[in-house]
Amino acid sequence: MLRRFWLLFAQAVTVLLALLFIVVTLKPQWLQHQGQFGKQLASPIVALREVAPGSGSGPAMTSYADAAQKAMPAVVNVFSGKAGATPPNPHAKDPLFRYFFGNPKNQQQQQQQPEDETATNLGSGVIVSPEGYILTNEHVVDGADEIEVALADGRRTNAKVIGVDPETDLAVLKINMTSLPTITLGRMDQVRVGDVVLAIGNPFGVGQTVTMGIISALGRNHLGINTFENFIQTDAPINPGNSGGALVDAHGNLLGINTAIYSRSGGSLGIGFAIPVSTARSVLESIITTGSVTRGWIGVEPQDITPAIAESFGLEQRGTIVAGVLQGGPADKAGIKPGDVITKFNGRPMSDSDALVVAIRSQAPGDVVTLTVRTGDKERTVKMTLQASSD
C-alpha cells in the first residue's frame, strides 16, 4: 500500500514539475504576480536598464522644431532673371551649379545661351530687418534685371538691389512690405566646432526645407571661391537653391549665409560653406550706409613664409613676411619695413598672408589696430590707423 502511494506521489510531482517548466518557458508572465517564487522565475537572466515610459525616446526626443519655426518665416525664395525672359529649368540654372559644380567662368562664357533664352537664377535670402532688408548671395542676383521674392507666408513682391560685394559674394536687397518676419543675428564668438546647425533654403526649387548637421570647421579659406574667405564649414546638407539661405544655430539665430558646396555630382556631399554672420553684418551695415563696402588697408604686400624663405632668412615658418611697403601708407608711418614678419593682428596669431588680408579687410577705415612685428630676433608691437582700401 505504501509503495503504491509513493509511486502516485512521484508521478504527481513529475507532472507538476513538467507543467511548471512549460509555463515558465512559454508563459512566464503568468507567474509574475504569483508570489516571490514566481517573480524569481520570471526575472531576466541579467539586470538591464530600461528607459521609463515617456522619456528619452518617441515624442520626448530632442527636437529642433522650435529653432526651425523661429527662423523659417524670415527665409525667402529669390528669383532673378532678365526682363521678358522665359524661365528655363531652375535646377540647372542655380548659381551653385554655375560656380561650384564643374563649370568655371571661362566655360560659362563659352556656353552662354542665345539672348531669347536668358537664364533665371533660383536662390534664397534672409530678411534681417523690419524695413525689408534682405541678405543673399551676390551670384544669385548677378546681372539680373528683375528680382522677385517669395515669402514663406505666400506673399510675393519685387525686390531692389541696394548694393553688392563681390569680394564676399554678398548682396543686400530691399522689399516694400509690412509685417515682415525677421531673423535674430547670432554671435560668432560663441560658435564652436561641433555645434548643431540648421540650413534653411529652397533646394532644387522644391520649397522651403530644413536640414541639420554640425559645424565641421571655422575660418576656412584657400578655397578659391571668393576673394574674401573666412567660411563656416558644415555637414548640414546644402543643395542648389540654398544659395543665400540661412545657417542657424539650435536656437534659430542666424550664424551664416549659405554660399557653396563641394560636390562632383551636383548634390550635397556633406561639405558646405557659409559666410559668417559677423562678415554679413559688416557688409550689410556698410552697404546700407554708403551703398558699397569700403575696407581697411595698411599698405603692405604680404607674402607667405615658405620653407625656402624660412631657410634663407633664418625665420620661423610662422606669420607672414612683408615683401613691400607703400610709401606714406599706415604701415610705412608705423615703421614697418620689407623683411619684417607680422605674427599677430589685434592679438590673434597670423598663420599666413591670407589670414592677414582677411583680418585687415574685416576692419573699417579709421579703426586703430595693433600688429605684432618681428625684425630679426626682436619683436615689437605697433599701432596704426587703417585707411580706406584703394581697390
Residue with cell 603692405: 300
Measured CA to CA, the distance from residue 331 to residue 386 in angstroms comes to: 9
Cell numbers for 93: 540654372
Q: Is 160 exposed, middle or buried (0-12, 13-18, 19+ CB in 10 A)?
A: exposed
Cell numbers for 300: 603692405
345 - beta bridge partners? 348, 371
Number of Cβ within a 10 Å radius of residue 347 = 9
Measured CA to CA, the distance from residue 199 to residue 256 in angstroms comes to: 9
DSSP 52: P
Measured CA to CA, the distance from residue 91 to residue 100 in angstroms comes to: 14
Measured CA to CA, the distance from residue 119 to residue 107 in angstroms comes to: 15
Helix (H) or strand (E) holding 341: strand 341-345
For residue 173, which of 158, 162, 185 has the smallest C-alpha distance?
A: 162
Residues serving a catalytic function are: 139, 169, 243
Number of Cβ within a 10 Å radius of residue 263 = 20
77 - beta bridge partners? 124, 150
CB of 206 within 8 A of CB of 268? no
Cell numbers for 283: 557688409
Q: What is the DSSP string of 286-339?
A: HHHHHSS---EE--EEEEE--HHHHHHHT--S-SEEEEEE-TTSHHHHTT--TT
Residue with cell 524670415: 74
Q: Is 54 left (phi over 0), alpha (psi -120 to 50) or beta?
A: left
